Amino acid sequence: METTSLTADVLVIGFGKGGKTAAHTLAAAGKRVVMVERSANMYGGTCPNVGCVPTKMLVHYSNARRLEDDAQQFFATSIAGVRALTSAFRAGNFESLDGRETATVITGTARFVDPHTVAVGEGDDRITVTAPTILVNTGSEPVVPPIPGLAGSKHLVSSTELTKAATLPERLVVVGGGYLGLEFASIYQRFGTHVTVVEAAGRLLPREDEDIAATAREILEGDGIRIITGAKVTQVTDSGAVAVVEYTKDGERHTVEASALLPATGRRPVTEDLRLDAAGVRTRPNGAIEVDEYLRTSQPHIYALGDVNGGPQFTYVSLDDARIVLDQLLGQGKRTTADRVAVPRTLFLTPPLATVGLTEREARAQGLNIKVSREKVADIIAMPRAYTVEETRGVMKFVVDADTDLILGAALLSIDAQEIVNTVALAMRHHITATELRNSIYTHPSSTEALNEVFDKVVG
């Protein structure tokens, strides 16, 4: 058996946001880069293929559906649109990197042979790649909870399968009411599916303040989604065209039928097939690679970027991971994960929920002297955009330090919240006060100009 051997300056394992960003920059700097991606369907990573891009396209399409549109036909057309765009992005990601003179993309599963070498493929197709610097960016994958009958159910679907299947499920049951579960629930209900969310916790979004979570639930239920909290799924049994999902709530047994069953109870780092032990790279019990604040593993020449290092599972965090690693490899080596302040999050409901910083509950638990500014979107006179696009549901809430007037946190459940939160986060990072935001000039009519009013609505 002959083995093809390659030598690179930098080996990148995983074509995600952090990995591809670092690979492009390093190749542009004249470094010889080899990228290994295990699937030809994942060039560019989770976001453009099965994550952010397809799901946000589906949010857009689902909101565009009219009552007179045939649900099944409209959905199939929407999925075709998603496939076309993700295919274009995938091809573009491959060509833009592999087309560089100093970069090569290899498709296959990388397994460590020693701290500086990986093997890709088997038999006559086996390739070894050796490099003094290695970046691991293999991402995360959905976890199927150990519910009896779930893993073997023919109605079990992953989020990836849902974004690719052209048939709209009649009844979707989502197990788990976190970000992923609620986003898919919102999307598919708007397409015309009957959606039920079964959540084990006593309420949705337990990290958020109760008033924000309650408003989100009110919106979801107003759209027709059935939400069952404080419920534990105990059994899944296939019965012809449906799966019968059994759950207990308040000591009583109940069932709900599903033509599609989506577990949305979390994701785990993809490290199982990497043979990290051969490289001397330590992992945590959940499989995440241990890293320091510079994203160095237990082998200083090996870095871990993105979901695989156990940090926040956001594409933009993976991008920042690339900045940290590139500063180590090409810069001054000063940038660290400790530099991250006021990192925002968005749950793409309709309207979206965007948050940053502390909740009111967290701030009070820390004993901070705070004031809270809160107003329903429908009551914000300075935000006519909500009325012009006919989306007045939601609430805006800010937690402000009463002594310094600095913003400690925000929860924005409103039209354009995913954009407004970036302005708020930037203000928090640069110590711009609530008064300055309130008195600033914003375009009209826009959602951002709600800031002119909400900071005056102090409650609690």
Q: Which residues are catalytic?
A: 444
Q: Which long-range contacts (CB under 8 A, 24 or more apart) does 430-434 make?
A: 431/406, 432/407, 433/404, 433/405, 433/406, 433/407, 434/373, 434/398, 434/400, 434/405, 434/406, 434/407
Q: Is the peptide bond before 344 cis (omega within 30 degrees of 0)?
A: no
Q: CB–CB of 346/433 below 8 Å? A: no
- What does the block give as tokens for 132? 């003094």
117-120/127-130 β-pairing: antiparallel
- What does the block give as tokens for 135? 């970046």
- Give the alpha-carbon dihedral of 291, 295, 297, 301, to 10 degrees: -170
Q: CB–CB of 324/279 below 8 Å? A: no
DSSP code of residue 156:
B
Amino acid at 216: A
Q: What are phi and psi of 175, to 5 degrees?
A: -95, 105
Calpha distance 55→167 (Å, rounded): 16
